[in-house]
Amino acid sequence: MNTSPQLSPHFSLREFTASATADRLNIDNSLPATLQDNATHTCEQLEKIRAILGNNPLIITSGWRTPALNKVVGGSASSDHATARAVDIRCPKFGTARTIARTLAASDIEFDQLILESPTLPSAWVHIGFRKGANRRQVLTKFAGDKTYYAGLK
Total number of domains in the chain: 1
At residue 4, the pLDDT reads 79
* 38 and 46 Cβ atoms separated by less than 8 Å: no
Residue 1 inside a domain? The answer is: no
* 65 and 79 Cβ atoms separated by less than 8 Å: yes
Residue 115 inside a domain? The answer is: yes
Model confidence at 3: pLDDT above 70: no
Residue 109 inside a domain? The answer is: yes
Q: What is the pLDDT of residues 12-44, one digit of tens each?
A: 999 999 999 999 999 999 999 999 999 999 999
- Mean residue pLDDT of the chain comes to 95
Q: List the one residue out of 113, 114, 84 whose CA is nearest residue 101.
A: 114
Q: Domain holding 43: CATH number?
A: 3.30.1380.10
65 vs 4 pLDDT, higher one: 65
Residue 68 inside a domain? The answer is: yes
Percent of the chain with pLDDT over 70: 98
Residue 103 inside a domain? The answer is: yes
At residue 2, the pLDDT reads 53
At residue 1, the pLDDT reads 45
Report, as an integer, the average pLDDT of 106-113.
97
Model confidence at 139: pLDDT above 60: yes
Residue 72 inside a domain? The answer is: yes
Amino acid at position 16, single letter: F
Q: Using CA atoms, how far apart are residues 48 and 118, in angstroms rounded to an integer?
A: 24
**Could you tell me the residue range of the domain that residue 30 belongs to?**
6-151
Residue 99 inside a domain? The answer is: yes
Q: Is 151 exposed, middle or buried (0-12, 13-18, 19+ CB in 10 A)?
A: exposed
* 55 and 94 Cβ atoms separated by less than 8 Å: no
φ/ψ (deg, to 5) at 13: -60, -40
